[in-house]
Amino acid sequence: MAIKFQYNKTSRQQLEKQLKIRERALPTLQNKETALRMEVKRAKNEIEELEKELEKQILSYQKMVGMWLEFDASLIRVKDVQLSKKKIAGVLVPILDSVDFDIKPFSLFNRPKWYLDGVKTLETLAELGIRRDFHELRIQRLDYARKKTTQKVNLFEKVQIPGYQDAIRKIKRYLEDEENLSKSSQKIMRAHLEKKREEESL
């Protein structure tokens, strides 16, 4: 990215101001990137735990496959999902607070004894699955924000800050050269005037 500037003090001051802004913002962006990276890792670990738990629950009920064929899955459905939002390193992510289920009334006398356990089991499995999905959504948001932050850090670190420093250096050199030329021409003029006065006085 080429930085546009003019060879004057005003342009140099503006560039110095922009450089200071970026130099001050860079550590904050780097900290945000680190925090987001850690949050993504933590969320991935939580998903792995939830998947292990879900798999464990499913395997423990595999023995009762015959019973599950008798179970009426339409008795239970997800009624509502209670959410809250939380800012993690400046990124707003949904947090699953609880899952509300709607259970159709059924007769305990006309159904097998294990039906109540079946309802609880389905609630547990559904909640684990929903929690896993929310963690995946959280990872997507956090990872997207992390990538954007990484791009900004790289832009500042590798492009803009060196670009501004280079432009300021060029302006300083130009102004120094101009000042040196001005001083040199003044010396030459003085020497020329003194020589002319000496010639006139003779």
Q: Locate the domains of the chain by residue range.
A: 9-195
pLDDT tens, 137-155?
A: 889 999 999 999 999 999 9
At 145 the pLDDT is 93
CATH number 3.30.365.10 is the correct assignment for the domain at 9-195: no
Residue 108 phi/psi, 5-degree rounding, is: -70, -20
At 67 the pLDDT is 65
Q: Which residue has the higher pLDDT, 201 or 69?
A: 201
Q: What is the C-alpha separation between 200 and 202, in angstroms, rounded? A: 5
pLDDT tens, 39-88?
A: 999 989 999 998 898 888 877 777 666 666 676 777 788 888 888 888 88
At 147 the pLDDT is 94
Residues contacting residue 179 through CB under 8 Å, at least 6 positions apart: none
Q: Both tokens of residue 54?
A: 């879900």
